Amino acid sequence: MRRIISVLLENEPGALSRVVGLFSQRNYNIETLTVAPTEDETLSRLTVTTSGSDKVIEQITKQLNKLIEVVKLVDLTEGAHIERELMLIKLKATGAQRAEIKRTVDIFRGQIVDVTSTVYTVQLTGDSDKLDAFIQAIGATAVLEVVRSGVSGIARGEKVLSI
């Protein structure tokens, strides 16, 4: 099952490599990974999406917790949560395609953030499925380049991950 694990990490050199190393060392899978400092500059927040049996996920959270620089973590998929991913996508846009692409971007509530005579660069946010659906709707032949940020997530309601 796909899981989103959110980690508060000491914002120190080498801390990220420990997390990434743990995954490869113990044969766990990383699907996406995002990391950036938080409002408290001593902490980074890292979001990793992974998959595995319940037993594997339990080990992943326990092993992550064992890393000295991991301050706190939560498996967001255990409760209600919001997940978002940002995509920047460069599309071939010429002739009649230009209007069609614009319509599709509007339907998906994306924005065209850069334009040339032959190319649109589109910014789109949403959960991963929505981004997949957009690429499918546009069609592979129009796609020139895709860059996705990986998933960020946060719990719904009052719950917060902080120290």
Partner 1 sequence: MELLSGADMIVRFLQDEGIEYIYGYPGGAALHIYDALFRQDKVKHILVRHEQAAVHMADGYARATGKPGTVLVTSGPGATNTVTGIATAFMDSIPMVILCGQVASTLIGEDAFQETDMIGVSRPVVKHNMTIRHPEEIPEVLKKAYYIAASGRPGPVVVDIPKDMTTPNERYEYAFPRKVKLRSYNPAVRGHAGQIKKAVDMLLAARRPVIYSGGGVVLGGASAELKELAHNLNFPVTSTLMGLGAFPGTDRQFLGMLGMHGSYEANMVMHHADLILAIGARFDDRVTNATEKFCPGARIVHVDIDPASISKTIDADVPIVGPVDSVLKEMIALLKESKGKPDQDALNAWWKQIGEWRAFHGMRYETGEKLLKPQQVIEALYKVTGGKAFVTSDVGQHQMFAAQYYKFDKPNRWINSGGLGTMGFGFPAAMGVKLNFPDEDVVCVTGEGSIQMNIQELSTCKQYDLPVKIVNLNNQSLGMVRQWQDMNYESRHSHSYMKSLPDFVKLAEAYGHVGMKIERIEDLEPMLEKAFAMKDKLVFLDIYVDPYEHVYPMQVARGSMKDMWLSKTERV
- Applying CB under 8 A, among 27, 39, 55, 158 the residue interacting with partner 1 is 55
Q: Rule CB under 8 A: which of 79-118 touch partner 1? A: none
- Applying CB under 8 A, among 18, 84, 98, 148 the residue interacting with partner 1 is 18
Rounded Cα gap, residues 120 and 112, in angstroms: 6
Residue 66 is a binding residue for partner 1 (CB under 8 A): yes
Question: End-to-end CA distance of the chain, in Å?
Answer: 28
Q: Can you name the residues that pair with 124 across neighbouring β-strands? A: 87
Q: Can you name the residues that pair with 37 across neighbouring β-strands? A: 44
Residue 53 is a binding residue for partner 1 (CB under 8 A): no
Residue 141 is a binding residue for partner 1 (CB under 8 A): no
For 69, counting Cβ atoms within 10 Å of its Cβ (0-12 exposed, 13-18 middle, 19+ buried), the class is middle
Size of the site for partner 1 (CB under 8 A): 20
Residue 17 is a binding residue for partner 1 (CB under 8 A): yes
